[in-house]
Amino acid sequence: MDRRDFLKKTITSGIAAGSTLVFPKMGRLWAASQGDGTSAWDLVAVRGGEPDKMFDSAIAAMGGIQTFVPRGSKVLVKPNIGWDVPPERAGNTHPALVKRIVEHCLSAGAKDVTVFDHTCDNWVRTYRNSGIEKAVKDAGGRIISGDSKGYYQQVDVPMGRRLAEARVHEALLEADVFINVPVLKHHSSSMVTIGMKNLMGVVWDRWYWHRNDLHQCIADFASFRPPDLTVVDAYNVMMRNGPRGVSVNDVVSMKAQVISTDFVAADAAAAKLFGTEPADIRHIQIASDMNLGKMNLADLSINRIRL
């Protein structure tokens, strides 16, 4: 698939506050599936349904959750739960998606499914008002705090160029399966938040990254423990004033989802949804240069599903 045909860039940079947001033209992304029909898909892109139903379709196309979650395994599901805002503000991963992923993991026989984030706002209010705490508990999962330094252990980042070590939450260190569930949105420092940026929520000292070449640190840490699966929530997308947003006027309804075992590919596809070339997001380019995944979507076997 030609990169230019994946998505035409229609978001004008520097949208003025209070102006009307432009919805990206995503039709070509779902025009036709690419692959030989026998090999596993590298990436699945779904459009047009509710978050839970889109995940049902995407994970089925990837072979089912049991492909990634062995019976008796300990699973970490890592959404973005950084901000004390309701779901319609799109500052956090959609709770319906998180709930459905937890349900799938437990149905596959996971021993334990844990959900957490090192939040930016007060974690008690953020967990509650994002709707994610209730979603996890209703699904039968376990939601834990990321708010105490005692939960984090020092680790080396062998491929790190600017980030050689970090304190990482024990939930990731103890997990057999790691499912990363970012929300796609604007970010004032990194242009976008997607999968690799979402990993900042498993470390204790995020501010070191901001002071020491943020994009390089994002790519460095992505090499530490690549997710077994990345599920990008693009149901509602914050197009400006990220990462927290100001109001629902910052948000467009895309009703889309991207899922892949290659987190670089997932971020590249989501960047396209946002209206940005992957190479223009420096940490995506760095991760590709580090051979952590494929940024060139033309090299991937892609299944496009419209609900």
* Calpha distance 217→215 (Å, rounded): 5
What's the chain's Rg over C-alpha atoms? 18
Q: What is the 3 state secondary structure string of 248-307? A: HHHEEEEEEEEEECCHHHHHHHHHHHHCCCHHHCHHHHHHHHCCCCCCCHHHCCEEEEEC
What was the pLDDT predicted at 40?
80
- Domains of the chain (ranges, CATH numbers): 70-306 (3.40.50)
pLDDT of residue 82: 97
- Residue 34 CA: distances (Å) to CA of 6, 61, 180: 12, 13, 25
- Please give the pLDDT value at position 257: 98
Strand-strand pairing, 191-193 and 183-187 = antiparallel
Which ranges of the chain have pLDDT less than 70? Answer: 1-39
CA–CA dist 37, 156 (Å, integer): 40
Q: Residue 258's pLDDT is what?
A: 98
pLDDT of residue 34: 53
pTM given for the model: 0.89
DSSP character at residue 237: E
- CA–CA dist 285, 278 (Å, integer): 7
User: Which of the 8 DSSP states describes residue 34?
Assistant: B
The pLDDT of residue 33: 56
